[in-house]
Amino acid sequence: METPKKLGIIGKNISYSFSKKYFENKFQNLMLKNYTYEIFDLTDISEVEKIFQIPNLLGLNVTIPYKEKIIPYLDELSDEAEKMGAVNCIVFENNIKKGFNTDAVGFEKTLLLHRKNFHHAALILGNGGAAKAVKYVLEKHGIPYRIVARKNELNFENLSKEIVAAHHLIIQCTPVGTFPNVEDCLDFPFDALTEKHLVIDLIYNPNYTAFIKNASKNGAKTTNGFYMLEQQAEKNWEIWNFPKK
């Protein structure tokens, strides 16, 4: 009998996670009876040590708030994960725990699908693990950006309409507005948005965050994080089943 292969996701307050259903559907479609996918809701990153002891663990997803905190617990990082300083995918092979970042793949595909030639400067809202993948992709494509974050020089209190008007690409990387807190919204000068703006909110649950709704009211083109999520999930699957040396 084939050895069972276990996969899962680590995060905090992630009962809403898309990944379990997505991968269980994949197992069903591919008629894979020896795969399982679990949600590991951790109150502290140190609890990951227990997860690592699970027999036949093939790989893990990593989500908020552990994409950066997981790094000291790993043996190796892919080049991309090392450059970004964030991990959302782990593969276990030959007792080696290796971290990858597939958020960048997912975000890049989303960006290229929607970007127009006048989207030549970006504002990144937030400065966590997801923002690191976004920065990596923008740098790769030569798109200048500014970061808006609570502890930054440029923050949500002093973000002006003029700055928003000069940056036609807005990427929302914070968890504000994620289910179940769907009414929450960043303090943002929405009336500075125009039909030339592209707003990408990396949240996928709900489909339409308060941030996206407010942005679209002002004519901006908007998209959520669902396509990015699907694309990174497919890349994770590839990594888990064809581990890179």
Distance CA 106, CA 171 (A): 14
Helices (H) and strands (E) in the chain, counts: 8, 11
Between the CA of residue 49 and those of 20, 54, 74, 87, what are the distances in Å?
Answer: 21, 10, 10, 16
What is the token pair recorded at 151? Answer: 């502890």
What is the token pair recorded at 181? Answer: 């807190």
Distance CA 132, CA 164 (A): 21
Q: Burial, 49: exposed, middle or buried (Cβ in 10 Å; 0-12, 13-18, 19+)?
A: exposed
Distance CA 71, CA 62 (A): 11
Q: Could you say which DSSP state residue 84 is in?
A: H
Residues annotated as catalytic (active site), given as ranges = 67
Between the CA of residue 52 and those of 7, 9, 156, 175, what are the distances in Å?
Answer: 11, 12, 39, 26
